[in-house]
Amino acid sequence: MKRTNYPAPNGTYKICVNHKAPWQSYETCRLQISVGKPNYEGEKFEALCEWAGARFERTVLIVSDTLQRHNLRYQRNCDAATAWKLSRLEGETWLRRNTRALHHLRTPEIVRWDQLLMHPAYQVIETTPALDQAIEHTIREFWGRHEYDPTLYFAFHHHSRAFLLEELSVFSYLFNDPAIDVYAGSWFHQLMAVLFPHKDYLGVDYVRNRKSA
């Protein structure tokens, strides 16, 4: 039987679950890591690892480093090879930078994005009208969060769509392995509802830990 009492968080932050699923029945969690995002750095990421380590026997870190190459294409106006090299390097430096946080996890496993792309089950998913609509909604949501130069929209749209199709294609086989998927930030609920209506996943945020020193 899964435990229901957990040690109090020790650091500056603690975890607040904002999209709930019956995670207590899972022995394994997958942390979906967006390399380069503040939610996966420093004290915040350490709080996430502390939270996961207290609740799950096993944690798989999906380090989405080279997935970010799609963002780099329009952010830095670089070619595909350069974007891949830069994003791969970012993944390596992220792992070195966050080594301490990983000590909170029990039996952690690290999976880099290129490993997932080379998996024999990987293939680009076929879209449907419902999925296309959800992708368009998500891209507009992406765009609205930032003050990009309007002249970038065509490139932004093109590379964002490639990003989402690749991510969803990986999820389509990754989710076959039983685990609760955890993301610090906002899941794309419309996309998840279309492709994975019965998938259990958690969205979490950080709040200040008043008990910290």
> Closest Cα partner for 141 from 185, 108, 184, 178?
185
| Mean pLDDT, range 180-194, rounded to an integer | 92
Q: Where are the beta strands (DSSP E) in 21-115?
A: 28-34, 58-64, 108-112
Domain boundaries, the chain: 14-208
Q: 212 falls in which pLDDT band (50, 70, 90)?
A: low
- Kindly state the helix (H) or strand (E) to which residue 201 belongs, with its residue range: strand 201-208
**Fold topology of 14-208:** Rossmann fold (3.40.50)
Cα–Cα distance measured from residue 109 to residue 192, given in angstroms and rounded to the nearest whole number: 24
- Has residue 95 got a pLDDT over 80? yes
pLDDT digits (tens, 9 = 90+) for 136-173: 999 999 898 887 888 889 999 999 999 999 999 999 99
DSSP 205: E
Look at residue 145 in the predicted model and tell me its pLDDT. Answer: 83
Q: Could you give phi then psi for residue 184, rounded to 5 degrees?
A: -85, 95
Give the other-Cβ count within 10 Å of 199's Cβ. 14
Cα–Cα distance measured from residue 112 to residue 84, given in angstroms and rounded to the nearest whole number: 13
Q: 1 falls in which pLDDT band (50, 70, 90)?
A: very low
DSSP 59: E
